[in-house]
């Protein structure tokens, strides 16, 4: 239990660094008084006990004390959502579910480095993603409505994933996560078939060597993610920020603040990139980046 709590503390420290990292133009950061920032922070801190349970479940499967198919995945995923619903003003499964998957996967794989032992991590990720217990998947989908995320339920409904006949036919968690990832990009990181989690984590590790701190590296990753989605009229300002190394000095931070104002005036929203950045930060923290 003590080791599992230590793992969760590391993941939580990283994801909170990613959520709060500033300035992320057009995205979530601590200098913008947006409701989602408080909600996500509340969600994460409210779910620590459930994240520890996720790690512990992975450990028990690894040790042979529990069969992977016997894990209570419904509780694993819905527990943090229900707890956040009780304590916070909004629930964000796009953060909580990937964190739960990461916790279980680390517990099961027993890796010390996700990048250096990527095969072990991927195999463990495939274990949880390959589960097709229709009752657990049904409970997860239904709880979206309970916690006020009708948008997620309706998105799955539109693609047929609320139909019992489909769920009984062998739909896996990976398929559900993939459908959700088309709108909430945080779910792309737990898609074991795509493996983008390793790409982004390697990219962040490389950026950390250049920017010397996790927060600064996260800003650089965030800017790389949104670069191709920025209108041509604002590209000169983006290049100016890049040449200044984003948050390297107060003068650079001023340029980033100006970019943030411009993005919001132009209704440019890159919340999806904030999801990826924060979740990758949790794994980067596990890798030892500070």
pLDDT of residue 266: 96
Coil, strand or helix at 72: coil
Work out the number of other CB atoms within 10 angstroms of the CB of residue 166: 15
Nearest to 197 by CA among 290, 113, 114, 96: 114
Q: How many domains does the chain have?
A: 1
- pLDDT over 90 at 122, yes or no: yes
- Mean pLDDT for the chain overall: 96
Q: What is the mean pLDDT of residues 126-154?
A: 96
Q: State the pLDDT confidence band at 34, using cuts at 50, 70 and 90.
A: confident
pLDDT-derived band at 164 (thresholds 50, 70, 90) equals confident
Per-residue pLDDT tens for 105-114?
999 999 999 9
Helices 35-46, 73-87: axis angle to 10 degrees equals 130
Instruction: Output the pLDDT for position 61.
Output: 98
Q: Give residue-wise pLDDT tens across range 194-253.
A: 889 999 999 999 999 999 999 999 999 999 999 999 999 999 999 999 999 999 999 999
pLDDT > 80? residue 33: no
Q: What pLDDT is recorded for position 190?
A: 97
**C-beta separation of 84 from 42 below 8 A:** yes
CA atoms within 13 A on the CB side of 205: 16
Percent of the chain residues topping a pLDDT of 90: 93
Domain ranges, residue 184: 2-287
For residue 193, is pLDDT > 90? no
Phi, psi of 223 (to 5 degrees): -65, -35
At 222 the pLDDT is 98
Per-residue pLDDT tens over the stretch 39-53? 999 999 999 999 999
Cα 154–chain centre separation: 21
């Amino acid at each position: 239990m003590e080791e599992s709590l230590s793992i969760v503390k590391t993941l939580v420290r990283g994801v909170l660094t990613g959520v709060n990292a500033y300035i992320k133009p057009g995205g979530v950061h601590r200098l913008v008084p947006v409701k989602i920032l408080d909600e996500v922070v509340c969600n994460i801190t409210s779910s620590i006990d459930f994240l520890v349970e996720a790690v512990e479940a992975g450990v028990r499967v690894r040790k042979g004390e529990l069969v992977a198919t016997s894990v209570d995945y419904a509780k694993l995923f819905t527990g943090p959502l229900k707890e956040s619903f009780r304590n916070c003003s909004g629930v964000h499964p796009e953060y909580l579910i990937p964190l739960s998957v990461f916790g279980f996967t680390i517990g099961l794989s027993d890796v010390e480095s996700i990048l250096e032992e990527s095969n072990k991590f991927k195999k463990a990720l495939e274990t949880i993603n390959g589960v097709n217990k229709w009752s657990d998947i049904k409970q997860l989908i239904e709880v979206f409505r309970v916690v006020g995320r009708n948008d997620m339920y309706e998105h799955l409904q539109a693609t047929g994933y609320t139909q019992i006949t489909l769920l009984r036919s062998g739909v896996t968690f990976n398929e559900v996560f993939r459908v959700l990832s088309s709108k909430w990009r945080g779910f792309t990181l737990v898609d074991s078939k795509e493996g983008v989690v390793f790409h982004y984590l390697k990219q962040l590790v490389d950026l950390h060597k250049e920017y010397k701190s996790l927060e600064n590296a996260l800003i650089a990753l965030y800017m790389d993610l949104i670069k191709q989605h920025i209108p041509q009229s604002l590209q000169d300002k983006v290049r100016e920020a890049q040449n200044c190394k984003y948050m390297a000095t107060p003068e650079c931070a001023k340029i980033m603040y100006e970019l943030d104002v411009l993005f919001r005036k132009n209704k440019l929203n890159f919340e999806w990139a904030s999801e990826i950045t924060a979740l990758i930060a949790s794994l980067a923290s596990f890798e030892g980046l500070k």
